[in-house]
Amino acid sequence: MSIYDTLNPEQKRAVLHDKGPLLILAGAGSGKTRVLTHRIAYLIEHRNVNPWNILAVTFTNKAAREMKERVDQIVGYGSESIWVSTFHSTCVRILRRFIDRIGYERSFSIYDTDDSKTLIREVCKYLEIDTKRISERSILGAISKAKDELITPEEFEKSVSGDYMLKKQAEAYKEYQKRLKASNALDFDDLIVKTVELFMKDKEALTFYQNRFRYIMVDEYQDTNTAQFRLIHLLASGINEEGEKEYNLCVVGDDDQSIYKFRGANIQNILNFEKAFVGTNVIKLEQNYRSTKSILDAANEVIANNIGRKDKALWTDNDKGEPVSYTLFESDLDEADSIISEIKRTVENNNASYNDYAILYRTNAQSRIFEEKLILKNIPYRIIGSVNFYARKEIKDILAYLKTIDNGLDNIAVKRIINVPRRGIGLTTIDKVNDYALLNEMSFYEALTRAASIPGLERTASKIIPFVSMIEGLRTQLYQENYDLTELIDDVLEASGYLKDLEAEGSDEANDRISNIDELINKLVTYVEGAEEEPTLSGFLEEVALVSDIDNLDESTDNIVLMTLHSAKGLEFPYVYVCGMEEGVFPSYMSIYADNPQEEIEEERRLCYVGITRAMKSLSLSAAKHRMLRGETLYNKPSRFIHEIPRYLMKINMPEKDFLTSFASKNTSPFSEYRQSQRDYKPFVAPEPKNIAGSNIGTLSYGVGDNVKHIKFGIGKVTDIIMGGKDYEVTVDFPKFGTKKLIASFAKLTPMD
């Protein structure tokens, strides 16, 4: 029997398609990775495509690793020539070869989130931006959004007009990019942007990779942003032997699982794929191999309420399974206690293991109560989205040493370790060196090499010179013949005195840090032993920089997994709990009161769909009558998404009367009768905000036309007030910041006389 005979009819159609653009709409649990790997094997085996002419791109290292392992198993000899990697890893590989053509050195550093925060802090200080009025986070967000849309600092600056905040963001963007370039560094967004820039400016580089990658496959296509779309479009636009564009591009995705708009994902990339690539063949994978019928029916009912989607519905040959469980608790404390107790009871009865369970929630803040309950009951757990291993201080310190050795232009890395361990080099000295570097347009490290010549550093130069000598010595040693890269961290620890410092401290925390450094050494050894090409320090730093927290999830460890719904995409668990299903929590207040609520609510509904489809055997949904958020006790109705699941698909763990009452309000009657089909089932719709401007607004101490003061935006004039559920949306015109729409209870506006 051929391996292709094990595929279902639609999977087989997708695998055997070999020419022209192909869009595979792959529902959750429909075997998309299997399709991609079999398609690669088919192209090589039956269409004589060279392995090195194939590029397969996805979003996480975990997904890329799994795909590569499956390709190796199916293809065998020659599979090592196929590029199977993430978008960012693919771009790094391209840039290491050609980035010198756009003015960078090939030894560029990759800045992680913490590095970017440090750099923007320096930029704000230099530009005298008041970060209490315009936060560093908002500036970085604006820069990232601009890069996702391929907007340069110059273009951003031209679009600003008279908006004060945007003007400051534009100034910061320009200076931020200037300093990145001076440090020969790229942030994560730049990895994509600079590759696009390279291809736009250098036809030779573009043609090289168009000829190299005759067949391109993109996984999770619904998560691509504008820059990634442009990158793929450029790569796929090569000319065949007949002088025509073939677009041998296969993208796999599910618009119903597009949940990363906040990261720049553009759902229109998948919805409009056929327009961008004329002649596209569309194949739907709707058979689910993961979940029970009950779970899939619930998922289909919820997502059917979205308008902006392609028509499809999951189905399965699996058993019907248990109904979806729904419980309304008195409080968030009761919710956590009940869920943890139920899991513990089931595991102790030998009916499951802890690693069979996932607890999912809308925001990271919701994990605290679950953590406390788990600790009290001595249950092992793992939080995805907590402090990443590579974000720990000692790891960041050692990596900063390695970055300085590899790329002396990396100002952030050098500044981090110039006085770690303490060398008596204070902030005043660092500021003087930094000013000298800026004045003379050189890197911070180069300025350190001239410390004796810097005015005002006559006394402290003697403390800087040994540091420079140490770095130069380590750098010389690194490039000696027969030097073993695995020794480098040990050499850094000894030369810098870092390990000696921790050993002298002797505390439990210091011992933990030493253990973490040992783990970093293990990582370096693993990298060297597993490197497909000659292992280099740049290669190691690149691999470390591109690791995400989800890549480190060990599914064999017997822990309950806690994570946000966003982090859960791509994973599956036998038993799933989705908590905090309340209006204002999920969907969030921000989506309910957004300028375009329908679009935002649809994204939240897709997130709910993702959460539901993580479950294999059992799905439990829960809400609380009252919940503490941001120090305030909130009383919210159960989420509209609960109501969108027909009653016959659910097991309601409460009296029927209480269940119906929990949804009731004077504006809505959620269940006038039970619906037995999707056709006549009417989803719960939150009441439209009622404009009460000019009427008696009760608890508010101001009205339309009044001047009010905001702690961040200053004094502004109220132009509109809208009542929505249990809160007011207040529109205020601030002279310096423009018009803002604020939630009254959060904004805490005070009236001005």
Q: Which of 34, 614, 637, 647 is catalytic?
A: 614
Residue 586 in tokens: 């999920």
Rounded (5°) CA angle 406-492-422 = 105
Residue 496 in tokens: 């810098």
Residue 177 catalytic? no
With a CB cutoff of 8 Å and minimum separation 6, the contacts of 565 are 259, 360, 361, 362, 578, 586, 607, 608, 610, 611
Q: Which of 219, 394, 542, 729 is catalytic?
A: 219
Q: Nearest-CA neighbor of 740 among 692, 717, 585, 723?
A: 717
Which residues are paired to 55 by β-bridges? 83, 216
CA–CA separation, 728 and 745 (whole Å): 8
Can you give 180-205 as a three-state secondary structure string?
HHHCCEEEHHHHHHHHHHHHHHCHHH
Within 13 Å, how many C-alpha atoms sit on residue 367's CB side? 18
Q: What count of residues does the chain have?
A: 753
Residue 32 catalytic? yes
Residue 130 catalytic? no
Q: Which of 10, 11, 32, 309 is catalytic?
A: 32
Phi, psi of 55 (to 5 degrees): -125, 125
Chain centroid to Cα 704, Å, comes to 40
> In Å, what is the CA distance from 702 to each residue of 705, 708, 747?
9, 8, 13
User: Using CB atoms within 10 A of its CB, is residue 692 exposed (0-12), middle (13-18) or buried (19+)?
Assistant: middle
Cis peptide before 670 (omega within 30 of 0): no
Contact 142, 169 (CB under 8 A): yes
Q: Which of 10, 112, 220, 255 is catalytic?
A: 220
Sequence-separated contacts (24+) of 394-397 with Cβ below 8 Å: 394/502, 394/513, 394/516, 394/517, 395/516, 395/517, 395/520, 396/114, 397/498
Q: Nearest-CA neighbor of 305 among 588, 605, 639, 610?
A: 605
Strands 690-691 and 714-724: antiparallel
Computed over its alpha carbons, how large is the radius of gyration of the chain?
A: 28
Q: Provide the b/e sequence for 565-603 (b: ≥16 CB within 10 Å).
A: bbbbbbbbbebbbbbbbbbbbbbbbebbbbeebeebbbb
Q: Which of 10, 11, 33, 226 is catalytic?
A: 33
Contact 118, 412 (CB under 8 A): yes
Q: Please identify which residue in the block is written with the tokens 């299997």.
A: 34
Q: Which of 58, 60, 86, 257 is catalytic?
A: 257
CA–CA separation, 591 and 477 (whole Å): 55
Whether the CA torsion 148, 151, 154, 156 is positive or negative: it is negative
Which residues are paired to 573 by β-bridges? 615
Q: Nearest-CA neighbor of 418 among 440, 439, 437?
A: 437
CA–CA separation, 252 and 329 (whole Å): 40
Contact 171, 164 (CB under 8 A): no
* Residue type, position 741, single letter: K
Q: Nearest-CA neighbor of 59 among 197, 288, 222, 212?
A: 222
CA–CA separation, 481 and 503 (whole Å): 32
CA–CA separation, 622 and 522 (whole Å): 42
Rounded (5°) CA angle 239-240-243 = 70
Residue 554 catalytic? no
Q: Nearest-CA neighbor of 468 among 415, 426, 418, 402?
A: 418
Q: Please identify which residue in the block is written with the tokens 């604006």.
A: 142
> In Å, what is the CA distance from 355 to each residue of 15, 347, 381?
34, 10, 9
First-to-final CA distance of the chain: 84
User: Using CB atoms within 10 A of its CB, is residue 555 exposed (0-12), middle (13-18) or buried (19+)?
Assistant: exposed
Provide the 8-state DSSP code for 320: -
3-state secondary structure of 525: helix
Q: Nearest-CA neighbor of 285 among 63, 14, 67, 66?
A: 14
Q: Which residues are catalytic?
A: 32-33, 219-220, 257, 614
